[in-house]
Amino acid sequence: MSSPLIITAAVVGAETMREHTPHVPYTPQEIAQECQRCFEAGAAMVHVHGRHDDGAPTQDRETFQKILSEIRRRCGVLVQFSTGGAVGMDVEERIEALDLQPDMATLTTGSVNFGDNVFLNSLSTIRTIADRLRTLDITPEIEIFDTGMIDTALRLLDEGLLTEPLHFDFVLGVAGGMGASRRNLQFLVDSIPDGSTWSVAGMGRHELPLASAAIEMGGHVRVGLEDNIYLKKGVLARGSYELVEEVARRATNVGRNLATSEQARQILGISR
């Protein structure tokens, strides 16, 4: 029997702009409202980035404080902060909001070409973020864009910067990262330590097919406008909530229950 399915909604990201879709939220209120819609559609967790009112990405602490309090005021969804931010941000900027104590935060364990840019994560950067997460007792979600990033996560485990059980998110289909195939997903799942949990985030048109694969394989799923703006070919999702609804439907069709945020907390070993 698979455990209940954790759906994480990545509602904003750093790259999706109003030029791409009018439905991406920018302000803390818009972001929190979208998180609430996703929660009501079946998401147990939300993954959030910050934006200025004009849409420019920011990891600014004050912005994250507004986002967090607006979400907490509205619903009980688990809140995961991005520590990736946008390409080009320095490490201190990326982690300045962590003392607000989100339920979880991301940790990317390597660098990757990211379209025409490079998402830089030197070992020193990775250790700095991991150390901050450990000090603040925030559970990391380890973001894997390519296979070697698993090896680096295991190295941090050896160094005591991470503790088991580990939770991985396989981000597949980024231009420059690992391709979004079921074969790659299976390989990654086979490469993580026993007792780990995992989710998949497929980019663009790969999002929903990989969500279906994860539902069948006993993993968890991340969807949302950060990764994909279409519900189906040529049809924009009117918000991340429509993608959450679609995943919830697919899970129900094969008899997999959705995790509540409390169940997700237990599955992911979030202690606080």
Q: Which residues make up the interface to ligand KMH (CB under 6 A)?
A: 13-15, 82-84, 86-87, 106, 108, 114, 119, 143
Q: How many residues sit in the footprint of Zn ion (CB under 5 A)?
A: 1
Q: Which does 86 bind (CB under 5 to 8 A by kind): Zn ion, ligand KMH, none?
A: ligand KMH
Q: Which does 114 bind (CB under 5 to 8 A by kind): ligand KMH, Zn ion, none?
A: ligand KMH
Both tokens of residue 249? 């439907």
Establish if 109 lies at the interface with Zn ion (CB under 5 A). no
Whether 184 and 217 have beta carbons less than 8 Å apart is answered as no
Least distance CB 69 / ligand KMH (angstroms): 20
> What residue has token string 């429509």?
242
Whether 4 and 256 have beta carbons less than 8 Å apart is answered as yes
Q: Whole-angstrom Cα distance, residue 167 to residue 192? A: 9
**Whose CB is nearest to Zn ion?**
82
Nearer residue to ligand KMH within complex by CB, 7 or 251: 7
Q: Which of residues 214-243 bind Zn ion (CB under 5 A)?
A: none
Q: Determine the angle formed by the axes of helices 148-158 and 123-135, rounding to 10 degrees.
A: 50
157 C-beta neighbours (distance < 10 Å), count: 16
Q: Whole-angstrom Cα distance, residue 225 to residue 51? A: 14
Least distance CB 145 / ligand KMH (angstroms): 9
Nearer residue to ligand KMH within complex by CB, 171 or 214: 171
Nearer residue to Zn ion within complex by CB, 33 or 83: 83
Nearer residue to ligand KMH within complex by CB, 84 or 224: 84
State the Cα angle at 90 between 46 and 48, rounded to 5°. 10
Q: Binding Zn ion by CB under 5 A: which of 58, 82, 109, 261? A: 82
191 phi, psi to nearest 5 deg: -100, -5
Provide the binding-site residues for Zn ion, judged by CB under 5 A: 82
